[in-house]
Every structure is written in C-alpha cells, then in structure tokens.
A and B are shown apart, each in its own frame.
Chain A
Amino acid sequence: GQQVMQIPQYQHVQEGEDFTTYCNSSTTLSNIQWYKQRPGGHPVFLIQLVKSGEVKKQKRLTFQFGEAKKNSSLHITATQTTDVGTYFCAGRGYGQNFVFGPGTRLSVLP
C-alpha cells in the first residue's frame, strides 16, 4: 500500500536558524497536505498542494510539491519558539485516502 515517509524524525535548531522537513511518497500523489501539531495538541491544517512543482508561502513557511508529485518539503525561515511542534505531511494517491507521514518533531532553543 501507499507509504509516506518524512525526514528527519527530529530536528533541534537554535532560534533564528532555518528548518526543513522532507516528505516522500512511495506512489504518485494527487495532492498533499501539511499539518502542525503543537505538544499536547491536535493536528492543524496548514496548506494543500495540488500542482506539480507548486510552491506556496505563508509568511516564514515555504511549501513545495515535487515535479513528479512524489515528494514535498516544508521550509521555515528564521525559526521562532512558536514554531515548536510536529509537522506532518499527508499524501493522497489517486482514488485513495490521505496517508499521514510519521512527522518531524521540531524543537527550537531560545
């Protein structure tokens, strides 16, 4: 079945440093979503990417969908302590349900 992988599993950064998490699917995706879960909280939807090579920005966050629609990335510029949490990608194959990746847990040291 469809598998979604994310790297790294954990990332510790100093406040102000950049952060990137990568998402890879075993199959071609129709679309991909990104979520953020704060410690003790629930996943919160960030964005959806649909088109090959699509790039979307939300303030300091940049999301990219690969040309082959099998991978995606989330980049945070100049991290802040409010960025702490686990970032999940969720990939949807054609005619299938979304499959969540294992997440990347981000720690930001002040």
Chain B
Amino acid sequence: DAGVIQSPRHEVTEMGQEVTLRCKPISGHDYLFWYRQTMMRGLELLIYFNNNVPIDDSGMPEDRFSAKMPNASFSTLKIQPSEPRDSAVYFCASSLGGSGQGGGYTFGSGTRLTVV
C-alpha cells in the first residue's frame, strides 16, 4: 500500500483565497483524521470521520474551515477565505478502528500551507 496520500505537498496562497487540501486514506481504514501542526500549538485534531461520517468537528477553528469525505477513499479540507494565521502543516491520518487496532494512526506526508 502507498500509505496515506496528501496533496499538494506545499501550497502558497494569498490571504482571502480558497484553499483545498486533499487526502487519500489507506484502503480498508475506517477512520480518517485531519490534524494541524504549528510550533505554538503542536498537533491539533481538527475533525475526524468514521465510515465517511463526520464524528467530531469540535477542533475546527471556525466556519472558514470545512471538511468532507464523499467516499471511503477521498477527503478534503477546505479553508475559505484563508488567513495568514492558517499557515501550518496539515496532516491527514487514517486508522483501522478508533485507536488503530494496536497499529496506531498512519499519517500522510502533510501539506505545508503558507498564506501571505
């Protein structure tokens, strides 16, 4: 398996623009997580899905953020409009079961977002 695939790897955008981050989880995994990592706040859980259904979005910073999982092999995280404070590395992770059945979460390589 190719692992969790995220695109793009890097994104530079101007403030106010819409940004869409994409994730393909590992086939067969039933949980998908979106995390944001910054130096100041560390790894923050934004939202997670179970069997394509959003379960907990309490970590989504504000209404500018939205996430979808239209099918088991694809998820998007959208920021509209983007702001400089959204600059961070965004990770997608997937797992089999909520705790990974002893195998933990598999993280993608991340998308480094810079909003100027």
Residue numbers of A with Cβ under 8 A of B are 31, 33, 35, 41-48, 88, 92, 97-103
**Chain A residues within 8 Å of B108, by CB:** 42
Task: Output the nearest chain B residue to A35 by Cβ-Cβ distance.
Answer: B104
How many B residues face the partner with a CB closer than 8 A? 19
Compute how far the CA of A46 lies from the CA of B104 in the bound complex, rounded to whole angstroms: 8
Partner of B42, one of A45, A48, A98, A102: A102
A92 and B110 within 8 A (CB):
no
At the interface, yes or no: B99 with Cβ under 8 Å from chain A? yes
Task: Output the nearest chain A residue to B105 by Cβ-Cβ distance.
Answer: A45
Residue numbers of B with Cβ under 8 A of A are 42-43, 45, 48, 56, 91, 93, 98-100, 102-110
Total inter-chain residue pairs, C-beta < 8 Å: 47
**A42 and B109 contact, Cβ closer than 8 Å, known pairs A35-B104, A92-B99:** yes
**Chain B residues within 8 Å of A97, by CB:** 45, 48, 56, 98
A42 and B104 within 8 A (CB):
no
Partner of A42, one of B48, B56, B102, B107: B107
A45 and B103 within 8 A (CB):
yes
Partner of B99, one of A33, A42, A43: A33
B100 and A100 within 8 A (CB):
no
**A100 and B56 contact, Cβ closer than 8 Å, known pairs A35-B104, A45-B105, A48-B104:** no
Task: Output the nearest chain B residue to A32 by Cβ-Cβ distance.
Answer: B99
Compute how far the CA of A40 lies from the CA of B102 in the bound complex, rounded to whole angstroms: 26
Compute how far the CA of A89 lies from the CA of B103 in the bound complex, rounded to whole angstroms: 14
Q: How far is the CB of A41 from chain B (nearest CB, A)?
A: 8
Task: Output the nearest chain A residue to B6 by Cβ-Cβ distance.
Answer: A42
Partner of A31, one of B99, B105, B109: B99
